[in-house]
Chain A
Amino acid sequence: MKEIKGTRLSSFLFLFLTGALCFFSGRSFLAMHQKEPVYPGAGLSSKKMLSDYLPALQNTHGDTEVYVFRGNEKGGHLLIIGGTHPNEPAGFVSAVLLVENISVKRGSVFIVPRANSSGFSHSDPQEGNPQRFAVPTPSGPRLFRLGSRLTNPIDQWPDPTVYINPAGQKLSGNEVRNLNRCFPGRVKGYLTEKIACGIIELIKQEAIDLGIDLHESAPEYPVINAIVFHENSAELAVLALMQLQSEGIEIRLEASPSNLRGLSHREWGDEAGIMAVLLETPNASHGRLKGKPSSDLIVEGKDKFYTKASQLGWLFVPFGEEGIPLAQRVARHLAGMEALISSLKELEPEKAVEVENIPPWAEVQEKGVGPFLHPPK
């Protein structure tokens, strides 16, 4: 490279350039803290915060909205969690879709769309992920943040070398910021443990009967298109599976391993005694074999490398050229939740929850998520 002489003037210019780069990149990073709006539908009864259940979360980036829908008739209590992992968009979008559409006739439904609110405020380093993805609606695109699997290190730092979670499991240090390894949480623990504790408190104080945690995973991951269930929800999960299969939705059952501790489907059942299930859908943007990460990859779900991997038999789900779009993944979550709700009614009629206006999964799959979302402002 040609040698160019540096001078005192160039040093000052570079110092100015440093300031400018810090300003623009800092502004972009800080914008990730701005929450995307959620527009609750007419069926909403009240909006609470997780800190109402665990005051230790007050004034922290771990505090998050809890949308409450109560029916006129007495029934069971259902908890739906999205955004436990903010880099799994179908879970978050499904929860938002419910908040903006449903009303409850019988029982109560509690929805937490951004379970790990701090995780939404940054993206995974060295992944090249977009900060946001755009879901097309009839009134224009609606933007959602694509966060990280882990809590923002700005909110919780440093990580220990080895993390021993509240359930006693030894994990690698950074799992201390993974909400789905921190259950049942600690009141005076790390921020992520406080969030986990807040969710457990919500479950206990609201006498939740069934908890559903919405996730996504990579197509090469074996636990996919699956219902992961705690042993106390085995019958419920089997009934839901039969219903889904009768509707033409292929799904598998995975029992929650009793020695894998700290996860929602294990600790909600063990600690709070509720029926606990976790739903997984396949997301190409989440996997290691993907091409360029982009908003289109998240929403349209097409990736030629995954198509090739599928042809080679490397994946646990079929992955054709049409991809697995967000609409299909959200539709699977909606169908899974509907099947679980109706199975609960069949198994324990006194705990039945009747939810109206859930967007029909087949229509979501056909028309996309956009027509069922509130138009962007």
Chain B
Amino acid sequence: MIRLFYHLIVMYLSLHLVWYMFRQRKFWSQTSAVLVLVLFLLRLFWIK
């Protein structure tokens, strides 16, 4: 149960990051979003 809740939080934050990346008009801010998003996705898919 706690794991499902955790996954939902990570998924919510990952979607927020994607949304932020598309809204952002600064190239370097988009780059920063990618670096964070990779870690979130690896966690979301339970790889690392």
Binding site for B on A (CB under 8 A): 1, 3-8, 10-11, 14-15, 17-18, 21-22, 25-26, 29-30, 122, 154, 157-158
Contact = CB atoms under 8 A, between A and B. Distances in A.
14 contacts: A6-B26, A6-B29, A8-B22, A10-B30, A11-B22, A14-B21, A14-B30, A14-B31, A18-B34, A18-B38, A22-B38, A26-B45, A26-B47, A29-B47
B9 interface: no
A6 B34 contact: no
Contacts of B27: 3-6, 10
A157 B3 contact: yes
Contacts of A11: 21-22, 24, 30
A127 to B, nearest CB: 14
Given A6-B30, A11-B30, 9 more contacts: A3-B27, A6-B29, A8-B22, A10-B27, A11-B22, A14-B33, A17-B34, A18-B34, A25-B38
B41 A22 contact: yes
Interface string B28-44: 11110110011001100
Contact of A15 (B6, B21, B31, B47): B21
Interface string B2-18: 11001000000000001
A142 B38 CA distance: 32
Which 4 A-B pairs give the minimum distances between C-beta atoms?
A4-B27, A6-B27, A26-B47, A11-B22
Contacts of B26: 3-6
Contacts of A10: 27, 30
Given A18-B37, A18-B41, A22-B42, A6 B3 contact: no
B47 A30 contact: yes
B22 A154 contact: no
Contacts of B2: 158
A15 B48 CA distance: 20
B41 A4 contact: no
Interface residues on chain B, size class: 20 to 34
A120 to B, nearest CB: 15
Contacts of A122: 48
Contacts of B33: 14
A217 B27 CA distance: 46
Nearest to B36: A18
Contacts of A6: 24-27, 29-30
Chain B binding surface SS class: helix
Q: Which of B3, B34, B48 has the most CB of A within 10 A?
A: B48
Contacts of B45: 22, 26
A26 B18 CA distance: 19
A209 to B, nearest CB: 42
B3 A154 contact: no
A154 B48 contact: yes
Contacts of B25: 5-7
Contacts of A5: 25-27
Contacts of A4: 26-28
Contacts of B29: 6
B30 A21 contact: no
Contacts of B34: 14, 17-18, 21
Nearest to A17: B34
A29 B42 contact: yes
B45 to A, nearest CB: 7
A18 B41 CA distance: 9
A12 to B, nearest CB: 9
B44 to A, nearest CB: 9
B18 A15 contact: yes
Contacts of A15: 18, 21
A86 B48 CA distance: 17
Nearest to B17: A18
B26 to A, nearest CB: 5
Contacts of B18: 15
